[in-house]
Amino acid sequence: MNRCRHEIRRAKVLLALLGIGALAGAPCIAEAQDPQKDVLRVGTSGDYAPFSMAYGTRGGSTWKPQGLDIAVAEAYAKDRRLEIEWVQFRWPELRRDLAGGRFDVAMSGITQRPERSLIGRYTGPLATAGAIALVRDAKRFRTVDDLNREGVRIAVNQGGHLERVTRTRFPRATIITVSKNDNVPKQLFEGKTDAVVTDTLEAPHWQLGARGVVRRGPFSHDLKSYLVSLSRPELAADIDRWLIENEADGTLNHLRRVHLGRIQRPQPAAPLMALLASIDERLALMPLIAETKRSGKREIEDQRREEKVIREATVKTQEAARRRGVTPPTREALRRFFVAQIEAAKAIQHVASKNAEAGSATPLDLEADLRPAIDRISDRMAGLLTQLPADLDTESAKRQVHQVLGFHGLTEKQLDAIAESLVELAHSTRSQELKAVPNRVLSQ
């Protein structure tokens, strides 16, 4: 319990800096009373179809969640012989509860967001989605831009990813936040609002039995992953391994078919998409890093730091390859990949710094908060870089890179550089493996 109290004290400081609020009501949960059973505490909302829906009284003994993420959690727990303890959270309190030790992992259609990367470890993605608006007056709102007008009322779930997307995309509209996610569509159906914001996976559930409701969008590309407590790095790594294995054998697509009504292509948890999700998470932190550097009067360009990052990332990747017993990519291919990432990251930082409001400042600490988050992402990347498909082609790589990373404001040239470096990585590994095969084997 001493370690838990220490983690809560550290979390209080970071959450206060992020403006999230105090940790009251989020106590550290004691270990399971039965020493023969390992318990996995899973945080879930119970109000986000199709990932997590629940019936029964909040906190009551009859409360039982169901949905895609619930099925995945149960399958993982069965394979690892774990007992699940379900912990319900409210979206405005997700980060506070995770940092406060209420649960080990959040599994509830969690969208990757930069501020969440500071207090948890993301796993590879389980699904992809896009933010959309549902409207009833199709003639008045013919496009997404028609919603960004004064006097337009838009309802959205309070405290979640979609609230931030909505406020950014529709700054002129009146945003109405709703504390319980499954109450949001009622605002539209009862005529209290002109539109509601949801995503492409949840929308079909809201549209059931609703006549005259049409979609506008999508206007984002979102990755749904699991968010693991910083105190459980071994759990995050194990869930990643499990996701990749169960993506490869078709288990995850079976669960998607049952709960989403369809499979997803490309497979979200496959190594390439998981790697792109890590790159996306890293690039999403760049505006925060730019603001921290700007407020501290530090230059964006730091060649010594860049070389250090490349060296350390190369070593991590080589070590990951040795642990897996596979051939690592060449140093040259690794360098091109990391340089392409760094150039993209600097481009985002330059734009963010240029667009920053005069006098604005961030209380985040580059060394204590932001760079540790980057290091955690780099650790995940290292393992994924050793699992790229050997037959990766340039066209496919570019398509997936543009799909996942295309919302960061990067140029086509910058995106293509990342894609081409990924192809070179995959081919460099394959080429070294072929060279290591004796000529007599190749001639058979």
Q: What is the DSSP string of 99-155?
A: HTTS-SEEEEEEEP-HHHHTTEEE---SEEE-EEEEES-TTT--SGGGGSSTT-EEE
Arithmetic mean of pLDDT over the chain: 88
The answer to whether the Cα torsion of 309, 310, 315, 316 is positive or negative is positive
pLDDT band at 7 (very low <50, low <70, confident <90, very high): very low
Answer whether residue 355 shows pLDDT above 80.
yes
Cα 377 to Cα 359: distance, rounded to the nearest angstrom: 30
DSSP assignment, residue 37? S
pLDDT recorded at residue 5: 43
Answer whether residue 438 shows pLDDT above 60.
no
> Which fold does the domain 131-216 belong to in CATH?
D-Maltodextrin-Binding Protein; domain 2 (3.40.190)
Cα 50 to Cα 68: distance, rounded to the nearest angstrom: 6
Architecture of the domain delimited by 273-435: Up-down Bundle (1.20)
Identify how many contiguous H helices and E strands the chain contains and give both numbers.
17, 14
> Please, where in the chain does CATH 1.20.59.10 lie?
273-435
- What tens digit of pLDDT does each residue of 394-418 get? 999 999 999 999 989 999 999 999 9
2-127+222-269 is a CATH 3.30.565.10 domain: no
End-to-end CA distance of the chain: 62
> Please, where in the chain does CATH 3.40.190.10 lie?
2-127+222-269, 131-216
| Residues β-bridged to residue 87 | 43
Percent of the chain with pLDDT over 70: 85
Answer whether residue 435 shows pLDDT above 60.
no
- What tens digit of pLDDT does each residue of 28-73 get? 333 344 455 699 999 999 999 999 999 765 555 567 899 999 999 9
pTM as predicted:
0.84
Structure tokens at 396: 């496919």
How many alpha carbons lie under 13 Å from residue 360 in its C-beta half-sphere? 14
Answer whether residue 184 shows pLDDT above 90.
yes
